[in-house]
């Protein structure tokens, strides 16, 4: 198994995060520093991160979390703010968030130690859809602005892919996108003349937020994880 994949399976980080850790010289195999994420290893290779040997794979877990406003979507925060991982009792597992929401946005996030799944759910090539509910001002949003967002909005980092957009009531939009640009929904709305007042993610792939309360979490059942995995393979 490739080293980056081995680290992801062991719950160290996502696949891409594991590659960065290896390239930074933080990983050793049989006592020798390795910087090639493609190096072949197995459970008997003596893989260590920052001098600490890995003791086999952790049980893989995936949690749905309802992120409240003010909670940051990282595993750790240097400023001491509460993180989305803090909302899940880790029981010693090395969990990290799948993708991000900005601090003031709320809604559905996934937290896991399954690096392969995290990579598939966040990589643009897999086009996993995410649905948001945005309250915007001024209200209502014109038919022209809705059409522009559906066809693609010109942003400073290029035109967006077509989105599914509907105005559920004046000034309240539901948008489904499959890209992962920074602050994409907010920037799309601003590009057509509407500032986002509140933003909530209500769906990630086949998973819905439903009645999970803010700050709450639940562990996905094996069947739900399999549906999520299959959806990321399409």
pTM: 0.76
CATH of the domain at 40: 3.10.290.10
Residues 192 and 134 in one domain: yes
Q: Is 86 designated active site?
A: no
d(CA 33, CA 48): 9
Q: Which of 102, 114, 156, 211 is catalytic?
A: 102
Q: Which residue stretches of the chain are H helix?
A: 3-9, 15-23, 115-122, 143-151, 184-191, 222-232
Q: Give the distance from CA 182 to its chain's centroid.
A: 12
pLDDT tens across 96-152, in order? 899 889 999 999 999 998 877 888 888 777 788 999 999 999 999 999 999 999 999
CATH of the domain at 200: 3.30.70.1560
Domain's final residue, options 53, 74, 93: 53
d(CA 32, CA 35): 10
Residue 124 DSSP class: G
Task: Work out how many domains the chain is built from and give that number.
Answer: 3
Residues 87 and 135 in one domain: no
What Rg value do the Cα atoms of the chain yield, rounded? Answer: 19
Residues 110 and 171 in one domain: no
Residues 137 and 195 in one domain: yes
Report the chain's terminal Cα–Cα distance, integer Å. 24
Domain range holding 173? 129-204
Residue 95 DSSP class: -
pLDDT tens across 25-66, in order? 999 887 789 999 999 987 777 888 887 777 655 678 899 999
CATH of the domain at 84: 3.30.70.580
Closest Cα to residue 66, out of 196, 173, 203? 203
Residues 41 and 155 in one domain: no
């Amino acid at each position: 198994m490739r080293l980056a994949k081995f680290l992801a399976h062991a719950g160290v980080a996502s696949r891409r995060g594991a590659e960065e850790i290896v390239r930074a010289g933080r990983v050793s195999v049989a006592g020798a520093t390795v910087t090639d994420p493609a190096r072949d290893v197995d459970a008997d290779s003596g893989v260590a991160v920052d001098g600490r040997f890995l003791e086999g794979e952790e049980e893989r877990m995936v949690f749905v979390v309802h992120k409240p406003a003010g909670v940051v979507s990282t595993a750790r925060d240097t400023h001491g703010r509460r993180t989305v991982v803090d909302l899940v009792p880790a029981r010693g597992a090395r969990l990290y968030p799948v993708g991000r929401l900005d601090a003031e946005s709320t809604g559905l996030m996934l937290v896991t130690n399954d690096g392969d799944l995290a990579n598939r759910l966040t990589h643009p090539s897999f086009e996993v859809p995410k649905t948001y509910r945005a309250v915007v001002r001024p209200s209502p949003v014109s038919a022209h602005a809705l059409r522009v967002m559906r066809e693609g909005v010109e942003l400073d980092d290029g035109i967006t892919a077509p989105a599914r957009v509907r105005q559920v009531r004046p000034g309240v939009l539901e948008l489904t996108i499959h890209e992962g640009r920074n602050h994409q929904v907010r920037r799309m709305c601003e590009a057509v003349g509407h500032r986002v007042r509140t933003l909530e993610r209500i769906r990630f792939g086949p998973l819905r937020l439903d009645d999970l309360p803010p700050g709450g979490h639940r562990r996905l059942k094996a069947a739900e994880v399999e549906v999520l995995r299959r959806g990321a393979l399409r």
